[in-house]
Structure 1
Amino acid sequence: MSRRTLVPEAMGKLQKFKMEVANDMALDNIYSRNVYMGDVPSKEVNKMKNSGNVGGEMVRRMVEAAEKNMVDKI
């Protein structure tokens, strides 16, 4: 599967959507690289470890929006 954006004009909006989803999942301000994390509680570390779920949640929300759009057009 390709990671390219099918509609290049949507790139900025997709990035914003990703940040909104991460914020909703309480993952917005805890992911940083090359920073000492020894004092970060394990609860927060698990959130970072599961941050890959952001993409899955984005897809779930997009499918839900598309389904609602189809129902509205009927």
Structure 2
Amino acid sequence: MARRNNRTVVTGARPALDQFKYEIANELNIPTNLIQGDYWGNLSARDCGAVGGHMVRRMIEAAEQSLAEQAAQNVRAGFQAGLMKGTPSPAPTQ
């Protein structure tokens, strides 16, 4: 008996993923008028695979960009903290 293991981790992500799927299909000039609700069986396996493949590519690009931005922020924060440590305190005035 087959088990379905492709559950969304984030609740509420399914509508966003469905919209993303339609956007990719439109960009690839795949006729979305053949799609009936959630049923994509009227499309060829090649077209469905192309949509899924492009979705994965885009999600990986977004994750990589997010990680790069996070790393850059951490470097900036570390650099600023290092500058603050290394600055001499003002000399006391008399």
Structure 2 stretches lacking a partner, 5+ long: 37-42, 72-94
Share of identical aligned residues, percent?
Answer: 37
Structure 1 stretches lacking a partner, 5+ long: 34-47
Matched residue count: 60
Q: How does 1:18-29 map to 2 (within 5 A)?
A: 18-29=21-32
Q: TM-score, normalised by structure 1?
A: 0.67
| RCO higher in structure (CA 8 A, sep ≥6) | 1
Aligned-pair distance for 1:29?
Answer: 3.0
Q: TM-score, normalised by structure 2?
A: 0.54
1:70–1:32: structure 2 CA closer, same or farther, 3 Å change rule? closer
1:72 and 2:75 correspond = no
Measured on the aligned residues, the alpha-carbon RMSD in Å equals 2.0
Q: How does 1:2-41 map to 2 (within 5 A)?
A: 2-29=5-32, 31-32=34-35
Q: Show structure 1 runs of 4+ deviating over 6 A.
A: none
